[in-house]
Amino acid sequence: MSGALAIRRAASPDAAVLSAIGRETFIHTFGHLYAPEDLAAFLDESHSVASYAALLDDPRYGLWLLEEAGEGAGARVVGFAVAGPCGLPHADVAPGDGELKRLYLLPEIQNGGWGGKLFDTAIDWLQREGRHRIWISVWSENFGAQRFYARHGFGKVAEYEFPVGRHRDIEFMYRRDPE
């Protein structure tokens, strides 16, 4: 990493770059866990250009890019966050609840404080939008993320199966109630 970093709100033209960074970070972090066909099916569904375009066009969602300023051609995206209405399968989810759906950073950016800044940006937006109860889903074996969310006032409330192709992961649901 060589340039200064900045967070900016993503817009419709960013769908392709979100797809690319979403795929890259997911493969780097989790790709070794899945059969190639399961990984491909998940990426085609969850990290396609069309899926990000739909989120960007929906005013209920907020997406942010973490960018490193580049020379000439523009900025290199090194992370992103997605927030919106809660879609987790829990009986206590109520209309108006928010969810931090994704918080992904490239490995060289992790543990430098930028994940926290992206997190704060998304959470602040959710709260401004009136979504005061906030949910997060995290892989059961992502201990670093679990510690991060616990430090920010989130507590584990349940677990569920998260599909990646035909594979099912155990995910933990975390929630933070309004203060």
> What Å distances lie between residue 97 and 60, 89, 149, 156, CA to CA?
11, 13, 17, 16
**Structural domain spans, the chain:** 5-176
Q: Read off the pLDDT of residues 74-99 as tens digits, 9 standing for 90 and up.
A: 678 999 999 999 999 999 999 999 99
What does the mean pLDDT of the chain come to? 91
pLDDT at 131 over 70: no
User: Residue 113 has what DSSP assignment?
Assistant: S
The Cα–Cα gap between 156 and 143 comes to 12
Contacts of 33 (CB under 8 A, 6+ apart): 164, 167, 169
Put the strands of the sheet holding 5-9 in their side by side order: 5-9, 62-69, 75-85, 98-105, 134-139, 167-176, 155-164
- Shortest CA distance to 20 belongs to which of 103, 77, 83? 77
19/75: higher pLDDT = 19
* CATH number given to 5-176: 3.40.630.30
